[in-house]
Amino acid sequence: MEHIKKAFDAVATEYDAQREHVIPDMRNYYGAAVWAAESPSQAPAILDVGAGTGLLSALLLEKYPGAAITLLDISEKMLAVAEERFSKKENVSFRTGDYAQADLGGPYDLVCSALSIHHLEPGDKRRLFLKIYRALSPGGIFVNADQAEGETPYFSERYLAYWNDFLANGPLSAHEHAEILKRRNTLDKNEKLSVQLAWLREAGFSDVDVVYRNRTFIVTVAGKA
């Protein structure tokens, strides 16, 4: 994970400003994740896995102002941006660490993640889903806004072409565009959506579904009975 840490340390300060120009339909994408993050409690315990600068956590705190939320990420510099974002929030805490290896703690009412887990190798993804299941309280929910490979080479190529066209027609500078492509080509390890759903069920989740898909970009939801 050290190469991932270095890559995101390097872009921490400009990460937020680039998001809408990197992720097609970003507001609906994140909106679907927030919609899916349901809890009977108005003050749920939440863990944000691979939290980065805290974009998803900030939206969840708008939905649940009384939530106790923990942001976990391997990049100290990304978390430093998050700490500044939440400097006036007493119910937000921060942990630096490799979530693929670390004890997640818990129990939590909600575990969420956005644009992070796709960096893991397949076996690590599969093991992480099981760890998240164990970290949730009964009735808890795991929401993952992430990336998925196409189910066939044809769709993988179509999805990549769609994303490339979006990036090429946006306002990013040539340098920013090149850096994003470099990170994508070296760090992304996308898995098919069908495989990810199977791993969630294998981990023990009972309610598993997809609430959003825009080609590569997906939001999956998994509930623990």
For 196-211, the pLDDT digits (tens) are: 999 999 999 999 999 9
Q: Band of the pLDDT at 61, cuts 50, 70, 90?
A: very high
Q: How many domains does the chain have?
A: 1
Q: How far is CA 102 from CA 50, 73, 117, 203, in A?
A: 12, 10, 14, 18
Q: Name the nearest CA neighbour of 7 among 189, 191, 216, 182.
A: 182
User: Which structure tokens are listed for 35?
Assistant: 């919609």
Q: Each residue of 129-187: pLDDT tens digit?
A: 999 999 999 999 999 999 999 999 999 999 999 999 999 999 999 988 998 899 899 99
Please give the Cα distance from 40 to 59 (Å, whole number). Answer: 18
CATH classification at residue 77: 3.40.50.150
Residue 129 tokens, joined: 């889903």
The pair of structure tokens assigned to 222 is 């998994």
pLDDT tens-digit map of 79-100: 999 999 999 999 999 999 999 9
Can you give the residue range of the structural domain that contains 167?
2-223
Please state the pTM of the whole predicted model. 0.94
Dist CA 127 CA 88 (whole Å): 35
Q: What is the pLDDT of residue 1?
A: 56
